[in-house]
Amino acid sequence: MAKLQPVRGTKDLLPEETRRHRHVEETARRVAELYGFGEIVTPIFEFTEVFKRTLGDTSDIVTKEMYTFADRGDESLTLRPEGTAGVARAFISGGLQQQLPLKLFYRGPMFRYERPQKGRQRQFHQVGVELLGVETPQGDVEMIALAAQFLGALGLGERVTLELNSLGDAESRAAYRDTLVAYLSGHRDKLSEDSRERLERNPLRVLDSKDEGDKRVVADAPLLSDSLNAASKAFFDQLLAGLDAVGVAYNLNPRLVRGLDYYCHTAFEFTTTDLGAQGTVLAGGRYDGLIGQMGGPPTSGIGWAAGVERLALMLADIPDPARPVAVIPVGEAAQGVALTLTQQLRAAGVAADLGFSGNLKKRMKRANGVNARIAVMLGDDELARGAATLRDLDSGEQSEVPLDQVAARLMEKDA
Ligand code: ATP
Ligand code: MG
């Protein structure tokens, strides 16, 4: 088979890598639970419509990045490019309005057809949280504090910066939209084709264009913050006061936008300079208009998602998995005893490795290879006495222990 290799932009994760991923995911879940979040698992594919409606026809994701296919029943389905749409769909189809406010955590693979590079894949993983049904800035404060605590728990607190902006309410954005369109129209000839199209359909999206020419035009564009009305300013001030109160530091970044209509008020990103071009590790915002726009009961929401691969790349050493003990039969007679003892240890909750074959030297090498803490040596002499020799592989200390006490002894040392 010519194609016996992973698809471009996808990766096999081997145990060393899955340990790092799991550390990121379990840290996120644990911290989210401290804030009262429970886990939701939605399908990894949805009707294409679910993403078109939530992400908008003009977004990069919808226009260029979705894995969309017709299934055998000719339904148009899409592998999820992000998590919020599925959660919002689940909220609506599951009739979860009665349970508001809802705090949901999710994790799992996402799919986007992008140009693969360091920290950017076609199948990647996210952890994320959504808070539904909270209209006040208190919700925004908690969500950002949760993000900061999560990154702190990973040991990355000093290496990331929180960038923060307000998009204001619908009235403020409508006012800004007019100002922006007037400005961009004056520079139409310098904009990319994509952005000229966005100028007609969704001008705010020009602001997060990655095209260099667009960026130059955008650099001098009027600021959204100058169009905020009093209510929007008050909301933002309460958010900032809340973050100050809980000690979360931020940089105000008036250029940070999310160019979709249902985004409002808070937009934020945690960025790092340690990953080159892929510097955003966590991004989120408030989306009060989204669920209504999807056809559900108008419900406010705020959420964020973090890229597991990018965070895993930043992690230094993570805790070792439980170090096993290595059971080492010396000679034929000990084989059967070794198997029984190994199973007893595992049944008692002690991680135990039994090399499948080989002489003493080979087995000792294997014990080192699996980073064993103790070798349980079963030689003919010991066996004749109904005992085993326990050798601490770090200190070299040895002692003889009756076979029926080995498990108990190793459980003590496990603690
Ligand atoms: P970028 O600007 O890097 O394309 P984005 O705005 O598309 O990011 P979001 O949709 O906000 O990203 O997703 C949240 C997080 O998921 C990102 O900050 C990033 O850490 C991660 N992420 C997004 N796309 C990818 C990808 N293709 N590969 C790996 N991680 C990704
Ligand atoms: Mg992207």
Q: How far apart are CA 280 and CA 309, in angstroms?
A: 11
Taking residues 95-112, report their average pLDDT: 97
- Average pLDDT of the chain, as a whole number: 93
Is residue 415 pLDDT above 50, yes or no?
no
- Taking only the tens place, the pLDDT of each residue in 45-85 is 999 999 998 887 777 888 889 999 999 999 999 999 999 99
What is the average per-residue pLDDT within 283-287?
96
- Closest to 206 in 3D by CA, of 222, 217, 197, 195: 195
8 Å CB contact between 301 and 286 = yes
pLDDT in tens, 22-49: 999 999 999 999 999 999 999 999 999 9
pLDDT, one tens digit per residue, over 336-357 is 999 999 999 999 999 999 988 8
Ligand nearest the Cα of residue 312 is 1
Cα of 307 vs centre of ligand 1, distance in Å, is: 6
Distance 205 CA to ligand 2 centre (A): 13
Q: Which ligand is nearest to the CA of 84?
A: 1
How many Å lie between the centroid of ligand 1 and the Cα of residue 396? Answer: 49
- Ligand 1 pocket by C-beta < 6 Å: which residues? 82, 112, 114, 119-121, 124, 126, 278, 280-283, 305-307, 309-310
**Rounded-to-integer distance, Cα 293 and Cα 44, Å:** 22
Q: How far apart are CA 139 and CA 51, in angstroms?
A: 25
Ligand nearest to the CA of 147: 1
Q: Specify burial of residue 275 (Cβ count, 10 A radius: 0-12, 13-18, 19+).
A: buried
Q: Which atom of ligand 1 is nearest to the CA of 61?
A: 7
Q: Which residues contact 200 (CB under 8 A, 6 or more apart)?
A: none
Over 80: is that where the pLDDT of 259 sits? Answer: no
| Helical (H) or strand (E) element with 143 | helix 137-153
Q: Identify which of 13, 124, 308 to mutate to test ligand 1's pocket (most ligand atoms within 8 A of the CB).
A: 124
Element (H, E) at 104: strand 102-111
Give pLDDT, residue 359. Answer: 87
- Interatomic CA distance for residues 129 and 201, integer angstroms: 30
Given a cut of 90, whether residue 392 has pLDDT beyond it is yes
d(CA 135, CA 186): 37
| Phi, psi angle pair for 68, to nearest 5° | -115, 135
- pLDDT for 2 equals 62
Nearest alpha carbon, ligand 1 atom 24: 120
* Interval 219-238: pLDDT, tens: 999 999 999 999 999 999 99
Give the residue among 47, 102, 53 at the shortest CA–CA distance from 79: 47
Q: Please state, in angstroms and as integers, the Cα–Cα distance from residue 381 to each residue in 12, 293, 389, following that order.
A: 46, 78, 10
Dist CA 230 CA 174 (whole Å): 14
CA distance 298 to 317: 45
Exposed, middle or buried: residue 222 (CB in 10 Å: 0-12, 13-18, 19+)? middle
Q: Are 184 and 201 in contact (CB under 8 A)?
A: no
Strands 280-286 and 264-271: antiparallel
pLDDT > 60? residue 414 = no
The alpha carbon of 115 and the centre of ligand 1 are apart by a number of angstroms equal to 12
Q: Which of 156, 255, 280, 302 to mutate to test the pocket of ligand 1 (most atoms within 8 A of CB)?
A: 280
d(CA 91, CA 297): 10
Distance 105 CA to ligand 1 centre (A): 17
Rounded CA separation 192/123 (Å): 28
For atom 23 of ligand 1, which residue has the closest CA?
307
For residue 59, what pLDDT is reported? Answer: 78
